[in-house]
């Protein structure tokens, strides 16, 4: 019986499918043979090591996984985990040693080689060898251009060296690969690019960068501030509008805009708008000592020390830990001629000391800073520092 075209096609397809399946099977068997490195998973030390990992006992995990490696020196996975642990506990040189010896193996897949090179880059970065780190990340990306690990490491390197444009480009690639929304980080990087442009006197480029930053994420507060600064002299009304908009977007950051906003209102001859703004913020959040402090300073400068003192005392009730408020109370008492020579000497001493720190804390890693920072120097995250707020001691209310 003659075969129809359809039947012939079906046979050909079946044959082709069989051929492909056979190839895949043979390949997976070859991989399986390579992968069936002696069964380290059945070692009791492996189980103990995992237990140590799961319970955060890193030293115990290192000890047990070390024993696994003595029984099964070829277990790449175990070497990888162990090297990470060494890096984690600060023994970077041992991590480097493991990664370098792993790279000498001939049976690594491309992805494995890329991953190990990226890990080596991170070892070097942690150890402070930035050139070598950059080189390892570059090699990792040459082996595997989609290695997110290497891209992230490279991006961090750029940030640490304040190469904002390169960091921005790396972050864009990362966002594309991970399909993540990195608008906030990209926005902060644009803001940094804007600052550099402004410093170099390239005001148009600066303005464009700040606008791009805000189109990426409205929460990039320094972009609002910088944009307002660009307009402050030429058009204070416009600067004030930008700052009001910033406060509307992130009221918890409002205090960072107080000084320029007060100046802008003064420049357009409407200083009362500052009072109204502070009063609105206090009504919104009765614990907002910064708005009270700003308003108190404004009133004191206006000769209304009595009202200022009332505000400060209320700010102190809600935030007794804030040294700046204490100091401002002394200053206000001084303005009311309420201090004798000894008190005045005391206040002068406090003014000179470094007491009136402005405590901020990272919401990710709890790093404390004396100033507002946009990028945490410890965990390297953006926009994670907030002012540290402590409630009044229990039982005082």
Q: Give the nearest distance from C-beta 337 to Zn ion in angstroms.
A: 46
Q: Which is nearer to Zn ion, 18 or 377 (CB)?
A: 377
- Distance in angstroms between the alpha carbons of the first and the last residue of the chain: 100
376 binds Zn ion (CB under 5 A): yes
Which region among 11-19, 79-87, 292-300, 365-373 touches Zn ion (by CB under 5 A)?
A: 365-373
Strand partners, 242: none
Compute how many residues bind Zn ion; rule: CB under 5 A. Answer: 7
185 binds Zn ion (CB under 5 A): no
* Size of the chain in residues: 397
In angstroms, the CA 2 to CA 291 distance is: 92
In angstroms, the CA 308 to CA 328 distance is: 9
Q: Which is nearer to Zn ion, 152 or 299 (CB)?
A: 152
In angstroms, the CA 169 to CA 306 distance is: 54
Q: Which is nearer to Zn ion, 27 or 386 (CB)?
A: 386
What angle in degrees, to the nearest 10, is found between the helix axes of 289-301 and 258-267?
40
Q: Which is nearer to Zn ion, 76 or 184 (CB)?
A: 184
Q: Give the nearest distance from C-beta 362 to Zn ion in angstroms.
A: 3
385 binds Zn ion (CB under 5 A): no
Q: Give the nearest distance from C-beta 381 to Zn ion in angstroms.
A: 5
Site string for Zn ion, 335-364 (x = CB under 5 A): ---------------------------x-x
Given 3-state DSSP classes, what are the helix, strand and coil percentages for the chain, each rounded to the nearest 5?
70, 5, 25
Q: Which is nearer to Zn ion, 321 or 378 (CB)?
A: 378
Using alpha carbons only, give the angle 68, 34, 109 rounded to the nearest 5 degrees.
Answer: 100
The residue from 367, 374, 388, 389 that contacts Zn ion (CB under 5 A) is 367
264 binds Zn ion (CB under 5 A): no
Residue 42 has what DSSP assignment? G
The residue from 365, 368, 386, 391 that contacts Zn ion (CB under 5 A) is 365
Q: Could you write out the DSSP letters of every residue in 121-164?
A: HHHHHHHT-HHHHHHHHHHHHHH-TT-HHHHHHHHHHHHHTT-H
The residue from 379, 386, 390, 391 that contacts Zn ion (CB under 5 A) is 379
378 binds Zn ion (CB under 5 A): yes
Residues that bind Zn ion (CB under 5 A): 362, 364-365, 367, 376, 378-379
């Amino acid at each position: 019986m003659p075969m129809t075209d359809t039947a012939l096609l079906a046979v050909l397809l079946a044959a082709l499918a069989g051929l492909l399946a056979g190839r895949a099977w043979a390949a997976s068997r070859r991989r399986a043979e390579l992968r069936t490195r002696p069964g380290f998973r059945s070692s009791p030390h492996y189980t103990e090591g995992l237990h140590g990992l799961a319970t955060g006992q890193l030293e115990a995990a290192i000890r047990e996984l070390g024993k696994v490696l003595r029984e099964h020196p070829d277990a790449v996975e175990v070497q990888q985990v162990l090297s990470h642990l060494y890096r984690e506990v600060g023994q970077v040189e041992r991590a480097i040693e493991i990664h370098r010896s792993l790279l000498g193996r001939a049976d690594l897949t491309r992805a494995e080689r890329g991953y190990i090179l990226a890990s080596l880059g991170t070892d070097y970065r942690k150890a402070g060898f930035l050139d070598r780190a950059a080189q390892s990340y570059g090699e990792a990306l040459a082996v595997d251009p989609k290695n997110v690990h290497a891209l992230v490491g490279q991006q961090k390197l750029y940030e640490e060296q304040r190469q904002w444009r390169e960091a921005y480009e790396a972050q864009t690639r990362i966002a594309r690969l991970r399909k993540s929304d990195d608008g906030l980080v990209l926005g902060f990087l644009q803001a940094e690019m804007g600052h550099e442009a402004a410093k170099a006197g390239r005001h148009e480029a600066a303005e464009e960068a700040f606008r791009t930053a805000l189109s990426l994420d409205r929460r990039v507060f320094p972009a609002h501030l910088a944009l307002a600064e660009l307009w402050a002299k030429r058009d204070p009304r416009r600067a004030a509008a930008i700052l009001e908009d910033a406060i509307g977007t992130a009221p918890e950051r409002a205090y960072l805009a107080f000084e320029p906003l007060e100046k802008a209102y003064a420049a357009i001859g409407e200083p009362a708008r500052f009072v109204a703004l502070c009063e609105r913020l206090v009504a919104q959040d009765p614990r907002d000592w910064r708005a009270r402090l700003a308003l108190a300073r404004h009133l004191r400068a206006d000769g209304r020390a009595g009202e200022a003192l009332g505000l400060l005392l209320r700010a102190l009730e809600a935030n007794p830990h804030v040294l700046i408020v204490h100091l401002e109370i002394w200053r206000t008492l001084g303005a009311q001629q309420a201090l004798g020579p000894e008190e005045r000497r005391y206040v002068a001493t406090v003014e000179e000391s470094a007491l009136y720190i402005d405590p901020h804390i990272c919401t990710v890693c709890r790093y404390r800073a004396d100033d507002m920072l946009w990028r945490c120097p410890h965990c390297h995250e953006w926009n994670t520092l907030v002012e540290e707020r402590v409630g009044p001691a229990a039982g005082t209310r």
